[in-house]
């Protein structure tokens, strides 16, 4: 069977008339718990998965950049000059590439020649498993290799976030790029987004697996209410700052929040802030539970997280609620919740391996009866973060 790199190399030869020099891989991510806490200075607990973006690339001798994705064949080969910093009109995936290169330039890196790149991703697009951050970090590790740059990993991660914020226009936190940049096989990352101190936590679930349940409803971050949630939680901080010395909601414990919540004038803003504060504590408790091998407690915290994202943060919707809430009632399921930004995308469930088929049947039937179309299921495997896979032998 042809592997993905052989396939991409063949396409590369067809498009550019020579073999590529290097192979790269960058994963997607799931977040086990700690949702919408990263731009609030709270804790997150994501992991990189084995689904991701594969790329083959070569440096060019001139300044042209040429990109091709098998996922967007209709966009054909995208070409631009490496010095050209203008945004490509229309929703071109090339803008993510430009955004990362621009952010890297901002850190003082110089690109004196261009490159050719062919990619393919097996992360369902717009599924909330971070296909965009996967692409951003692929560009980061590719640039590092092709331009022989010594860049600290955290800087590559920051470049991905900057591309998202400045070039794509979504004010995301650092979680996705961090998970993809720092991911390790069979580990989740317990990250304090306020201090950026993190810990790699081994994930040994014994007889349990994490099942990803895809709503198959595309989630477009830029079109969604993501930026509105960022503004609402900033508003909560702004109002609380008149009474408390804080920069982020993640600095508050729940008793302090309850004591001061009445100073926030808008009820909706109170709800948003409540989610951020309680979700942060839930994440801390969940990591403790996992370390103590208490998967039951971990599952209950997942359920509580979903409820809070539904009632207080209002980012779930009928699709994610149907998946998570149906799963939560199945015997053998310890917990289920949406993962990522919400508004469609994916949910995850912690499931006994003997109950996976039952989960797929019951949740699948229920979802189809409510929505009129089927969800998809995948067992999540936690794999390595973004990396150079190796050199390709061949004629240049
Ligand atoms: C998206 C964002 F990109 C992350 O930064 C994070 O805020 C997440 O939504 C919600 O937890 O994936």
Q: What is the ipTM of this complex?
A: 0.99
Name the pairing type of β-strands 64-69 and 115-121: parallel
Evaluate whether 178 touches 286 at the Cβ level (below 8 Å).
no
Q: Is the CB of 35 under 6 A from ligand 1?
A: yes
The pair of structure tokens assigned to 315 is 């980012």
pLDDT value at 153 more than 50: yes
Q: In sequence order, what are the residues at sequence separation of 6 or more whose Cβ sits closer than 8 angstroms to the Cβ of residue 294? A: none
Mutate to test the pocket of ligand 1, among 30, 32, 36 (most ligand atoms within 8 A of CB): 36
User: Which DSSP state fits 124?
Assistant: P
Residue 136 Cβ inside 6 Å of ligand 1? The answer reads no
More confident residue, 178 or 92: 178
38 CA closest ligand 1 atom index: 7
- Beta carbons of 46 and 32 less than 8 angstroms apart: yes
Angle at 110 between CA 104 and CA 111, to 5 degrees: 95
127 is in an annotated binding site: yes
Count the neighbouring beta carbons within 10 Å of the beta carbon of residue 125. Answer: 13
Structure tokens at 325: 């809430």
- Residue 305 in contact with ligand 1 by CB distance below 6 A: no
* Structure token digits, residue 89: 């009109």
The total of other beta-carbon atoms located within 10 Å of residue 274's CB is 21
Give nearest CA residue, ligand 1 atom 7: 36
Q: How far is the CA of 221 from the centre of ligand 1 (A)?
A: 9
Locate all alpha helices (DSSP H) within the chain, ordered by sequence: 4-16, 94-106, 131-146, 153-162, 175-182, 226-240, 254-260, 267-291, 295-311, 317-328, 356-371
State yes or no: 295 annotated in a binding site. no
Q: pLDDT at residue 382 above 70?
A: yes
Closest by CA to 249, choosing from 198, 306, 312, 206, is 312
> Dihedral through CA 81, CA 86, CA 88, CA 94, nearest 10?
60
Place of tokens 């993640």: 250
Predicted local distance difference test score (pLDDT) of residue 2: 61
Predicted confidence at residue 124, as pLDDT, reads 83
Average pLDDT for the chain:
95
User: Measured from the CB, is residue 32 less than 6 Å from ligand 1?
Assistant: no
Check whether 164 is labelled as a binding-site residue: yes
Q: How far is CA 306 from each of CA 309, 327, 366, 371, rounded to the nearest angstrom?
A: 5, 12, 18, 20
Whether residue 1 is predicted with pLDDT greater than 50 in this model: the reply is no
Q: Please name which of 117, 191, 141, 114 lies closest in space to residue 27, comparing C-alpha atoms.
A: 141
pLDDT per residue as tens digits for the range 101-131:
999 999 999 999 999 999 999 998 778 899 9
Report residue 198's pLDDT band, with 50, 70 and 90 as the boundaries: very high
CA nearest 139: which of 230, 78, 200?
78
Contact between 182 and 385 (Cβ < 8 Å)? yes
Answer yes or no: is the C-beta of 36 below 6 A from any ligand 1 atom: yes
Residue 221 has pLDDT above 70, yes or no: no
Lowest-pLDDT choice from 171-185, 206-220, 227-241: 206-220
Residue 130 CA: nearest ligand 1 atom is: 12
2 is in an annotated binding site: no
- How far from chain centre, in Å, is Cα 71? 18
The predicted pLDDT at position 91 comes to 76
Q: Is 176 in the pocket of ligand 1 (CB under 6 A)?
A: yes
Nearest atom, ligand 1, residue 172 CA: 5
- Asked if residue 307 has pLDDT above 90, the reply is yes
The catalytic residue among 22, 83, 84, 176 is 176
pTM greater than 0.90:
yes
Per-residue pLDDT band at 219 (split at 50, 70, 90): low
User: 3-state DSSP call for residue 135?
Assistant: helix
- Whether 130 has a binding-site annotation, put simply, is yes
- Which of 219-233, 282-296, 342-356 shows the lowest per-residue confidence on average (mean pLDDT)? 219-233
Average pLDDT score over residue span 331-358:
97
- Determine contact, residues 110/83, Cβ cutoff 8 Å: no
Please report the pLDDT score of residue 213 as a whole number. 98
Q: Are 362 and 325 in contact (CB under 8 A)?
A: no
Per-residue HEC secondary structure of 314-366 comes to CCCHHHHHHHHHHHHCCCCEEEEEEECCCCCCEEEEEEEHHHHHHHHHHHHHH
- State mean pLDDT over 82-109: 93
Which 8-state DSSP code applies to residue 72?
G
Q: Calculate the CA dihedral of residues 269, 271, 274, 280 and round it to 10 degrees.
A: -90
pLDDT at 396 over 50: no
Q: Tell me the per-residue pLDDT of 276-298, one tens digit each, with 9 for 90 and over.
A: 999 999 999 999 999 999 999 99
**Which of 341, 342, 347, 348 is the best mutation target for the ligand 1 pocket, counting ligand atoms within 8 Å of the beta carbon and taking the most?**
341
For residue 120, is it left (φ>0), alpha (ψ between -120 and 50) or beta? beta
The three-state DSSP-derived secondary structure of 78-110 is: EEEECCCCCCCCCCCCHHHHHHHHHHHHHCCCC
How far is the centre of ligand 1, averaged over its atoms, from the C-alpha of 341 (Å)? 5
**Tokens matching residue 250:** 């993640």
83 is catalytic: no
Residue 279, ligand 1, Cβ within 6 A: no
């Amino acid at each position: 069977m042809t592997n993905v790199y052989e396939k991409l190399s063949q396409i590369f030869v067809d498009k550019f008339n020579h073999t590529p020099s290097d192979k790269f891989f960058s994963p997607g991510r799931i977040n086990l718990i700690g949702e919408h806490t990263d731009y609030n200075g709270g804790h997150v607990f994501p992991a990189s998965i084995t689904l991701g973006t594969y790329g083959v690339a070569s440096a060019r001798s001139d300044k042209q950049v040429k990109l091709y994705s098998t996922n967007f064949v209709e966009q054909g080969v995208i070409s631009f000059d490496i010095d050209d910093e203008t945004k490509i009109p229309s929703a071109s995936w090339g803008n993510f590439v430009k955004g990362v290169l621009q952010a890297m330039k901002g850190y003082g890196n110089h690109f004196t020649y261009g490159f050719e790149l062919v990619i393919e991703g097996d992360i369902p697009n717009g599924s909330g498993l971070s296909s965009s951050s996967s692409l951003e970090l692929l560009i980061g590790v590719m640039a590092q290799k092709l331009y022989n740059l010594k860049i600290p990993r955290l800087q590559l991660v920051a470049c991905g976030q900057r591309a998202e914020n400045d070039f794509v226009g979504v004010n995301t936190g650092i979680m996705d790029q961090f998970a993809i940049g720092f991911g390790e096989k069979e580990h989740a990352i317990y990250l304090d987004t306020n201090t950026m101190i993190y810990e790699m936590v081994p994930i040994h679930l014994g007889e349990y697996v994490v099942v990803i349940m895809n709503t198959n409803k595309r989630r477009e971050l830029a079109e969604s209410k993501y930026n509105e949630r960022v503004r609402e939680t900033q508003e909560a901080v702004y109002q609380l700052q008149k009474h408390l010395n804080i920069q982020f909601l993640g600095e508050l414990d729940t008793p302090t929040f309850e004591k001061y919540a009445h100073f926030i004038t808008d009820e909706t803003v109170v709800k948003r802030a409540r989610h951020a504060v309680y979700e942060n504590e839930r994440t801390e408790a969940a990591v403790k539970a996992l370390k103590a091998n208490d998967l039951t407690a971990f599952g209950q915290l997942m359920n509580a997280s979903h409820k809070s994202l539904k009632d207080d943060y209002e980012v779930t919707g009928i699709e994610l609620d149907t998946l998570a809430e149906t799963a939560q009632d199945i015997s053998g399921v310890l917990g289920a919740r949406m993962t990522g930004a919400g508004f469609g995308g994916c949910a995850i469930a912690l499931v006994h391996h003997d109950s996976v088929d039952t989960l797929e049947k019951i949740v699948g039937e229920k979802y189809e009866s409510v929505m009129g179309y089927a969800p998809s299921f995948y067992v999540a495997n936690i794999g390595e973060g973004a990396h150079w896979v190796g050199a390709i032998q061949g004629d240049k």
